[in-house]
Structure 1
């Protein structure tokens, strides 16, 4: 049987990239050829994992050439920006991606891709090879949208032009079995959660279009030995583990035996490309649609300062991201705070007693994987149901609509409950219970096996057909 060649295609975002890197490393360790298509800023971590890097341009803005091709005259920018721009860029990139894939040697045997992207799935179908999507959320149901939103997006003229181009050129209707940011593979998806937290396709578009597709829960994909992306905009300067580790006062952290260590981080999206933009429809489910990333991040930080500044038994590590004005107008960080742009999260979490998080899927699963209870302060999207699922499991406390519910006294009370050193602390016990279930899900090894088994099954079928 021919050598396996696994191709990854992804977007340049930390939450989408990081779970794939340990799988890349494991595949390479098994002697599998791996090629990774992603933005240039991710090249270092891709090559550190052992893969061959190839360029796939990002999706943040349409080029002038793409605007001329897909955007009708007079259309306002907010009508063709994310997520509508993603399909236009996919259609524009598809010929080049196909050409690159056809030039690879040995030929690719399976494509592993992020379901935000439709073109890897189209390319796999054209090349006659299987595809596996990597779902770095607890399941399709966490991003289910009202039918009117789906209809509005899919009737958008930019989306119509791009989908028609793909259909006319390749005979593939991208919306037959998917939707914007929901292009799952009919051969299967790897989901970085456990069965107990999985949210399946819900009634409506999801169940109609891909409700019959297989989804395999493998648990968190974490390997502390594999270099990770700490923050997309800091990728070149601050994602290096050695630099991150030297920035934290590990001697202070390790010697603070009488203190309870708390990590506070709100992820990498609100404090990067959404910093000066309203969260808009992505935050309708928690009342933050009129907030910019800066406004909600600063609101949370201000509340954290108020809640924890006099808690002398707490040592708080606050991750502020890379915006230069992130602390402008806020009080001076209290003396029991350590403030850093980025931190090596999976190195720090095992030392923590609680984690205040936006409950992005990766952060949530990484914390629970180490048995760390969470205070959930979701900002948009899947973060809201993620925070609620943690609370329902007894492993944390959620402030699902933070502008209405998050106060200094309320946060102080929640944090005191989570960091309580009593061996019977129910939040810690629930988190440890989830940790054990995650370890049993198989993680990196199981994800690797799913990818290789999918490729081998397809290769065996092709060999049988050739010999028939």
Structure 2
């Protein structure tokens, strides 16, 4: 039996994709200790892992933002949390005697502790992966679609100049290294990706943008939607047999009023049934004119709804996109923040749905997009093709075998 320590990030979109992996490790006989914040205790313990709390030290809340300044602020945040948690947890983790440390790509403290303790480390991309090599091959994509820095004065000043991206990343990386007392780093791979000799990606190369940029250290393990034991019950008997459009905008966004209004006005009176999840933070009593063909609830069992849905209108979070693909449900993606813009592009490129960014998210365009994905079978076929590509990776069983083999090899090498 191996001792495995996992360091998570306290966001649903980062915890949920890891639960299947942790359960497989436990079923294999490995002892797993999973660090996260207290609200995730229940779902983590149900995998069979031992839960350990960050004791309120993480609070990895996400905020809207774009541009080079936000990029720097986020890097500072990750490294400050990384140093704090690595120092606080060093002795405790050392006493656990881990044979392997697996960590979220944003959990820099996991990478730090693996290096300090001299044990193999594995980085896990629970969201849409972005690496330095992608930006090298398409700097404009990185600046305008990932950083959302098209209007940033610094980008405008140097746009089009040779080596603009390389100079920017080198400058930012040196700045970050000096500020945090690090050696030579690449801010994208080493900070935002916490790159290790083995890096696990919950996707397939068929769905990944710039897949050729990912070398052999990145293991694509597909995606397996893990059932939610804590899902709220849903009145399935209220589904009336019409084509079902499911709408949800995730757990991060709180100010959903405008998006909800557009959705209700766009599909009001249409010959579809709509189930809309508005989240537990939204005051549902504010909705006084809900269309007759809508069922609006704070939270719904997403996987069960996707099994019955004909189309999914989503903000484009990684969980939502991957779970929709696993159910072969075509999407209309309305990205709002962070990597959702990249996720929306991935869906569009795969032919699995339609991307509607903010300026295009109107009643007319949403209505048109929903009917298009409902009526054109090509979108569902493309979704099924990506679902099959997840299965063809070998999935979680292959990932667990690779992690164990990698750990045994590293331990054997260190003992020579």
- Measured against the shorter chain, the TM-score band is 0.7 to 0.9
Counterpart in the other structure of 1:236? none
* 1:32 and 2:22 aligned: no
* 1:405 and 2:355 aligned: no
* 1:195 and 2:205 aligned: yes
RMSD: 2.8
Shift of the 327–392 alpha-carbon distance from structure 1 to 2, 3 Å rule, reads farther
Shift of the 396–266 alpha-carbon distance from structure 1 to 2, 3 Å rule, reads same
Q: Is the 8 A contact 2:120 2:411 kept in 1?
A: no
Counterpart in the other structure of 1:129? 119
Displacement of 1:139 in angstroms is 2.4
CA–CA distance in structure 2, aligned partners of residues 447 and 419 of structure 1: 35
Q: Is the 8 A contact 1:59 1:86 kept in 2?
A: no
Count of paired positions? 378
The C-alpha deviation readout for 1:212-261, integer Å capped at 9, x for no partner, is 6711111113232x63xxxxxxxxxxxx23xx02xx211223xx22x011
Secondary structure in 2 matching 1:195: coil
* 1:300 and 2:259 aligned: yes
**1:369-448 superposed matches below 5 A:** 369-399=326-356, 401-402=357-358, 404-420=359-375, 425-448=377-400
The C-alpha deviation readout for 1:361-380, integer Å capped at 9, x for no partner, is 22111101111100010112
Shift >3 Å, 4+ stretches: 78-83, 141-157, 172-180, 199-202, 324-328
Q: TM-score, normalised to structure 1's length? A: 0.74
Counterpart in the other structure of 1:454? 406
Q: Is the 8 A contact 1:220 1:362 kept in 2?
A: no
Secondary structure in 2 matching 1:269: coil
Q: Is the 8 A contact 1:20 1:221 kept in 2?
A: no
Displacement of 1:318 in angstroms is 0.8
Shift of the 431–83 alpha-carbon distance from structure 1 to 2, 3 Å rule, reads same
**1:23-422 superposed matches below 5 A:** 23-56=21-54, 57-60=57-60, 82-104=74-96, 107-140=97-130, 141=134, 145=147, 147=165, 160-161=178-179, 163-164=180-181, 167=182, 175=186, 178-185=189-196, 187-200=197-210, 214-224=217-227, 227=229, 240-241=230-231, 244-245=232-233, 248-253=234-239, 256-257=240-241, 259-271=242-254, 294=255, 297-311=256-270, 313-325=271-283, 328=286, 332-399=289-356, 401-402=357-358, 404-420=359-375
Q: TM-score, normalised to structure 2's length? A: 0.82
Shift of the 301–461 alpha-carbon distance from structure 1 to 2, 3 Å rule, reads same
Shift of the 117–415 alpha-carbon distance from structure 1 to 2, 3 Å rule, reads same
> Runs of 5+ in structure 1 lacking a partner?
62-77, 228-239, 272-293
The C-alpha deviation readout for 1:408-438, integer Å capped at 9, x for no partner, is 1221111112223xxx711111112222222
CA–CA distance in structure 2, aligned partners of residues 327 and 368 of structure 1: 32
Shift of the 411–365 alpha-carbon distance from structure 1 to 2, 3 Å rule, reads same
